[in-house]
Amino acid sequence: MTAASIQRFDVGPRMSEMAVHNGVVYLAGQVAEDGSQDITGQTQQVLAAVDALLARAGSDKSKILRAQIFLVDLADFAAMNAVWEQWVVPGHTPPRATVQAALARPEWKIEVVVTAAA
């Protein structure tokens, strides 16, 4: 495997937003741009960011292989799921884990990490 076989997007000094290798798309953790919104608004923002990144890689949410969701407060689980269930493609719901976690910024309520087929 060579570094040339890995395509990276939005490369920064600490991380890339996305990498594609061997037909698999790996996203960095996606968080809300507007941390002042409630869990519904933040979840919508995060899933829109996932959609946009997957589109750049020639993929979409129907090709998600796995999703990891990090919630600051598990009391937000039902509201997050309401947004998630409207967003996912019926019949293509991916394997998923949801855990409680402290996130890097206090205003963030959710972070989502996705791996998808290209």
User: What digits encode the pLDDT tens for the residues 65-84?
Assistant: 999 999 999 999 999 999 99
**What total number of domains does the chain contain?**
1
Domain encompassing residue 96: 3-114
CATH number of domain containing 63: 3.30.1330.40
Quick one: pLDDT at residue 71?
98
pLDDT at residue 4, as a whole number: 64
List all residues 6 or more positions away from 68 whose beta carbon is below 8 Å from its beta carbon: 96, 97, 98, 99, 112, 113, 114
SS3 102: coil
Q: Strand 24-27 relative to strand 16-21: parallel, antiparallel, unpaired?
A: antiparallel
DSSP string, 32-84: -S-TTS-HHHHHHHHHHHHHHHHHHTT--GGGEEEEEEEES-GGGHHHHHHHH
pTM over 0.75: yes
Residue 66 has φ and ψ, to the nearest 5°, of -165, 145
